[in-house]
Amino acid sequence: MVLSFLVGGFAAVNRTLTGTVATVTGEVRGAFRDAGLAVERAFASGASRSSTRKRR
CA 21, 25, 27, 28: dihedral to nearest 10 degrees?
130
Q: What is the pLDDT of residue 3?
A: 81
3-52: pLDDT as tens digits: 888 888 888 888 898 999 889 999 999 999 999 999 999 988 887 766 55
- Span between the terminal Cα atoms of the chain, in Å: 82
Asked if residue 53 has pLDDT above 80, the reply is no
Task: Please state the pTM of the whole predicted model.
Answer: 0.50
Q: What is the pLDDT of residue 23?
A: 92
- Is residue 9 packed enough to be buried (19+ CB in 10 Å), middle (13-18) or exposed (0-12)? exposed
Domains of the chain, residue spans: 11-56
